[in-house]
Amino acid sequence: MQPVPPLIRFEGHAIVSADGMIADAHGQMPAPLRNDADWRLFQAALDGATLVVVGRLGHERHPNPGRRRLVPTSGVTRLELDKRDPMAHFWNPAGADIAEVLRHLSIDAGTVAVTGGKRVFDLFLPRYDAFILSETNRFALPGGTPAFSAGHPRQVLAAAGLIPASCETIDVEGDVSLTRWIRPPTPAAGQREGE
């Protein structure tokens, strides 16, 4: 994993069912996972991002409202402009590290918003500085598509070294909570924890 510029932050965004699913078994987002409060917060975060990473299916299903997009896919060798969207690039993570892609796109500061699906969330797990996790606490989706291949996002994020920094209810009637997971800063070289 190549280092990225220090002013780059990676932030994941997902809304999941109580059992950690982002979609049904066919990759479709069922109505109970659609929440207006979450959608407003999500769109505001994407508007403020320098680059949005979205899976190929999401890129195809949702027209780009003018944001810079990066679409992970094995359909290209390294990095290619989407001929139908001049704001989007297709990227093969096996052909180029994200640090190389950011250099190529002249991005050296700002937030890279990672919006899924599962393989995309897994890919960025070692890099997240933060992960904004909304949960529809009354809705389970057995047999659905998980946000992370290794289990429920809460367990996966904790195992990756992130901690819950804040939690709030964003929709009381729908029982939807939002937890901001962050990666705690590491002590500077030669400094002990607590100094």
Phi-psi region of 149 (alpha: psi -120 to 50; beta: other; left: phi over 0): alpha
User: Cβ distance 131 to 181 under 8 Å?
Assistant: yes
Is 24 contained in some domain? yes
Alpha-carbon distances, residue 79 vs 18, 102, 173, 176 (angstroms): 36, 11, 44, 37
Percentage of the chain surpassing pLDDT 70?
95
Is 52 contained in some domain? yes
Query: Would you state the pLDDT for residue 1?
Result: 86
Domain ranges, residue 61:
7-171
Is 146 contained in some domain? yes
Question: Each residue of 98-110: pLDDT tens digit?
Answer: 999 999 999 999 9
- Report the sign of the C-alpha dihedral through residues 154, 32, 35, 42, in that order: positive
Question: Each residue of 153-189: pLDDT tens digit?
Answer: 999 999 999 999 999 999 999 999 999 999 998 776 5
Q: How many domains does the chain have?
A: 1
* Least reliable range by pLDDT among 5-14, 55-64, 121-130, 174-183: 55-64
Query: Would you state the pLDDT for residue 148?
Result: 98
Residue type, 77: T
Is 191 contained in some domain? no
Is 134 contained in some domain? yes
Is 179 contained in some domain? no
In angstroms, the CA 123 to CA 28 distance is 21
Query: Would you state the pLDDT for residue 186?
Result: 78
pLDDT at 195 over 70: no
Is 84 contained in some domain? yes
Query: Would you state the pLDDT for residue 95?
Result: 97
- Alpha helix ranges (H) inside the chain: 36-48, 56-61, 98-104, 118-124, 153-159
User: Cβ distance 153 to 119 under 8 Å?
Assistant: no
DSSP 160-173: TT-EEEEEEEEETT
pLDDT at 193 over 60: no
Is 98 contained in some domain? yes
Average pLDDT, rounded, for the chain = 95
CATH number of the domain where residue 87 is located: 3.40.430.10
Question: Each residue of 68-106: pLDDT tens digit?
Answer: 999 999 999 999 999 999 999 999 999 999 999 999 999
Query: Would you state the pLDDT for residue 110?
Result: 98
Note if the pTM is more than 0.85: yes
In angstroms, the CA 34 to CA 145 distance is 15
Q: Residue 63's pLDDT band (boundaries 50, 70, 90)?
A: confident
Query: Would you state the pLDDT for residue 190?
Result: 54
